[in-house]
Amino acid sequence: MSDASELDEDEKIRKGEEKVDDKEFNEEEVKSAKEILQSLAKTSRTLKIYLSNNPIHKKFIDELLAKLEAHLLSYGPIRLRVKQFELYCSEQVVYENINRKESIAFRLFIDGMREISFHPGIERDEIVEFMQALGKEGDDIEADDDIVTILWEKNLSHVKYIVVESLQNDAQEIDACKEMQTERPSPGKMESVFKKEGSRSLGDLSPIVQKKISLPSLHLFKLTEEEVEKIKGEVQGEEDLDVVGELIGILFDILRIERQVPIFSEILDILDNILNRLMGRGDLGYARKILEFFWEMLDPSKKLSEPIEALVKNALTRAGDAKKVALLEPVLNVSRPDLHKELFSFMILFEKNVIPPVIDLLASVKNMKARRVLCDALVELGRMDIESIILKLNDEQWFLVRNLIYVLGKIGDNRIIQAFSRFRQHEEPKVRKEVLHALDVMEDEKAYQLMSQFLDDADQTNRIFVLKSMARKAGKEGLAPLKEVMSSKDFDSKEFYEKKEYFKTVAIIGGDDVVPEMQKFLQVGWSLFKNVRKEEKGLCATHALKRIASPLAVEGLRDGSASKSKAIREACAKALNDLEVNQA
């Protein structure tokens, strides 16, 4: 390789450019991904211009959902690698925008995201909530929340992402992120500044500076090299002195050999006081060491006497009392990434008695990241005593109840199903939505039955979630409640989109068994005045028969081609054409 080519290559590396392997890729898939990103960018802009219920904004959302569903159906999950100003799919650039105020890639990159993926089954409300997180729009979003935190709070089932904790630990990312680099001034620039400053005349300076200042004579003593080294050693010793670490280390060593109950108890009291101070100032590193020591002492291999073992167990219980846990509130409300990182590993070392105080702490802490860690810790702790969490579900603070439902859903114990039945009529839709998310991942038949009872939920997005969940699980027992709703008078007043979801769910669950009922909806009698509601049902039934796509369903569509409703006739003809069936 020539020197020139080597320099060119070095220059590319210095600028953060990377070479993409010449791997084969699906051009159609990349093209589809580009269209999705274009639609995403347009929809993001409309969110800032129009209200969420504006028809124009809804149209953009529907268009984005259609393109995304088509891509997922054809190519599977869409995975996007995040760079500073670009998004990559299959190692190809599918989005690029260097405008930091508008760039979707830059927003994700600067908040630590390095990959994001969308998976089959994604729902309309998930897209809406992702757009709100991307634009940091919404009543429940704080201005200083980062996108990763917002997405964690929203708990979107079909949107996954990979983040880096800190750019400081990733040299390549620093190299790629130009604004994080510092530039060393050139010698020429330094010389220019020196001359400029040095050329200033004394007349420009304060008169006080111009006066001659007399200094008293000073007696200077020169230190020997030995004395200098000794001073350096003393300074270094002071810097390295770790008082707390030394103290608790000594106490640990004493407890490992001491077996007299009074002395053992007294030293545990000292450790308890130290733990109290450590938690109060947020020093969770040393606090964790104390808890780890308690568990070390409780190891059966230590063969402690019953009185000594009882003292250690009591110390571990005292460590998680309400007063100590409450000390963490002020320190957790301060933005300290190092503290949040240590919090989880510290909290899971407690006994089950800590659960109620941690729930109270969760209610009082305002920092979103800290609350997220507390929720994750409660998932682990709650496995020891799920009833302690269930008892707190009656709290009046809806956001706390939602977090506890999230925790219980992650635990996945069947005992929560009965506890969740109380939330059918809860006044906060976000609480009901969290219940549905928890029930959705459970395989128990009772969870399915309880979810079907939410078909009358006051919030449309919750009802749609129930329908999609029932369709995924395809339990035959779901047909009865679905048909009951479809035959009610209130069904006619529902939006067309929701009616279509009902028919689609019935088609997926019922198959050929529901074809005769679908055919009835296609038979709309002639009337001087157009019956819009009957026609809507007929169109929904057409979509349902197309989804079933069996010979019996095809025959039903052929019959529908003779309907007296022009809209239904055309819909049936289109469905038959899409199914590539030649009409007789």
DSSP 442-500: ---HHHHHHHHGGGG-SSHHHHHHHHHHHHHHT-GGGHHHHHHHHTSGGGGGS-HHHHH
Ramachandran bin of 350, using left for φ above 0, alpha for ψ from -120 to 50, beta for the remaining angles: beta
CA distances from 396 to 194, 392, 402, 562 (A): 67, 10, 11, 57
Distance separating alpha carbons of residues 114 and 465, to the nearest angstrom: 29
Distance separating alpha carbons of residues 91 and 98, to the nearest angstrom: 19
Indicate the domain borders of the chain.
24-178, 243-321, 497-584
Distance separating alpha carbons of residues 157 and 135, to the nearest angstrom: 19
Q: Which residues contact residue 103 at a Cβ distance below 8 angstroms, ignoring those fewer than 6 apart?
A: 85, 97
Which spans in 50-103 are helix H?
55-75
Mean pLDDT over the full length of the chain: 82
Distance separating alpha carbons of residues 149 and 34, to the nearest angstrom: 26
Quick one: pLDDT band at residue 235, thresholds 50, 70, 90? low
Q: What is the pLDDT of residues 281-296, one digit of tens each?
A: 999 999 999 999 999 9
Quick one: pLDDT band at residue 525, thresholds 50, 70, 90? low
Distance separating alpha carbons of residues 319 and 351, to the nearest angstrom: 9
pTM equals 0.61
Q: What is the pLDDT of residues 35-54, one digit of tens each?
A: 999 888 878 876 766 666 66
Residue 162: strand pairing partners: 115
Question: Residue range 398-412: average pLDDT?
Answer: 94
Distance separating alpha carbons of residues 445 and 274, to the nearest angstrom: 50
Q: What is the pLDDT of residue 245?
A: 83
Distance separating alpha carbons of residues 444 and 118, to the nearest angstrom: 27
Q: What is the pLDDT of residue 386?
A: 94
Cα 500 to the chain's mean position, in Å?
Answer: 30
Residue of higher predicted confidence among 206 and 491: 491
Q: What is the pLDDT of residues 435-481, one digit of tens each?
A: 999 999 998 889 999 999 999 999 999 999 999 999 998 888 889 99
Cα of first residue to Cα of last residue in the chain, in angstroms, is: 71
